[in-house]
A and B are shown apart, each in its own frame.
Chain A
Amino acid sequence: MSVVSLAELSPSRHDFATQLRTHGLALPPLAIDTLQVNITKLCNQACRHCHVDASPARTERLSRAGVEKCLEILAAHPQIRTLDLTGGAPELHPDFDEFVERAVALGRHVMVRHNLTVQFDGHPGTGEQKQYLPEFFAKNRVEVISSLPYYQEYFTDAQRGDGVFQKSLEGIRRLNAQGYGIDGSGLLLNLVYNPVGPYLPPPQAALEADYKRELQTKFGLMFNGLFTITNMPINRFRLHLEKRGQYDAYMDKLLAAFNPAAAQGVMCRNLVSVDHNGEIFDCDFNQQLGMRVFGPQKAATIFDFDFDALLRRDIRWGSHCLGCSAGAGSSCGGATA
């Protein structure tokens, strides 16, 4: 491939749908086995790459009625086996604990995107303590998925803020003490790597081996798996790229690394994503971009949830989708190819 040929193309060259046509791919939804709910944009951190633009200043959150409706949807649709709670820091939502407990009571697998530091920082507005979380997670056998951008302090703190690495290690230590990441416990702790800048993640298996060796030998910490995730060129990360004049080069990189096998594994084929208003989107990224699932004129919400219509939908693509199809692929569960 000639790199220069990409640079000379029109500004619309970063088009995911064109890539699908070029490779003869159609990507209809396969299932809705996961309900991913972004229950709050409030976060104790303000990470430089965050596609949600979450921070301690955000106030958006799912209403009590929205939580109830999600639980109704889970009760009525056994096909949706997993509830994936994200944010912000989802634990800062006032109904978080009850949401988890009732979803577990419905027999659902519950995943929580837990940033580790919220255990110590607590609620940035009220100061409410969150140190009970490891025990709460273990009691409900929640799968914990935690960002740790690197096994060293330099990259982690550069991305997530000073002191985050040490605090994250302590958070993992407390999860390990509950059995998380320990063989035979059945309590899953998966870590998430994402690059600290405009480059692609290393191969997942090799990096997981590095993380395990380094975290175990240097800090005595354990975890189950490592998910490598590509930074999405939207919102805060996009602004950062544009400020540094790196946006086009990053998009060229994603385009050049388009992998049809990774494209076929994109997560939006198996889940729907719910925002703090109860509106439904193809994925968390489309949600942040306001790309409505049935097009600009028609919102789909949890309050008029139609499983069959959602399963028949045409997934909406944008240039950011190149982030999920580059190299080994990227999803909320890591590499896809």
Chain B
Amino acid sequence: MSGYYQSEDLAKFGNIGQHGKLLADDFFKYYGDAVGSDGALTRREKALIALAVAHSEKCPYCIDAYTTACLENGSNPEQMMEAVHVAAAMKAGITLVHSVQMQNQLKKLVL
């Protein structure tokens, strides 16, 4: 990671409360409960979802953090790569399904 994003800045995530502690506290509690705890989904499953989202949202901090989190929760590299393919396939599908809109518009334009 280089340029605008710095790896060591991930450790400053906790600082988002500097100018808004209450909201930051609320967020971190929500974040911990939703992502960092076993629930209806296991932490392992949640980490794979987070890894996929990290890629679709192109967040370098999240990619670093959830690559580690996936390993620490017992996922293997094939499972991690497959999660990224799910994100990629969704992105492709989301793009392609919008061609329906294009076709609708086409029909309106064609005499």
Contacts and interface: CB of A to CB of B under 8 A. Distances in A.
Contact of B74 (A7, A155, A207): A207
Contacts of B44: 202, 206
Interface string B1-39: 000000010111111000000000000000000000000
B13 A3 contact: yes
A199 B74 contact: no
Contact of A195 (B13, B15, B71): B71
A210 B44 CA distance: 12
Contacts of B76: 150-152, 210
Contacts of A201: 72
Interface string A130-171: 000000000000000000001110110000000000000000
Interface in B43-74: 44, 68, 71-74
Interface residues of A, number: 23
B74 A4 contact: no
A202 B72 contact: yes
Task: Report which residue of A2, A6, A150, A200 has the largest number of chain B beta carbons within 10 angstroms of its beta carbon.
Answer: A2
Interface in A183-225: 195, 197, 199-203, 206-207, 210
A1 interface: yes
A3 B14 contact: yes
Contacts of A1: 14
A154 B68 contact: no
B40 to A, nearest CB: 16
Interface string A1-20: 11111110000000000000
Given A4-B12, A4-B15, A200 B77 contact: no
Contacts of B8: 7
B15 A210 contact: no
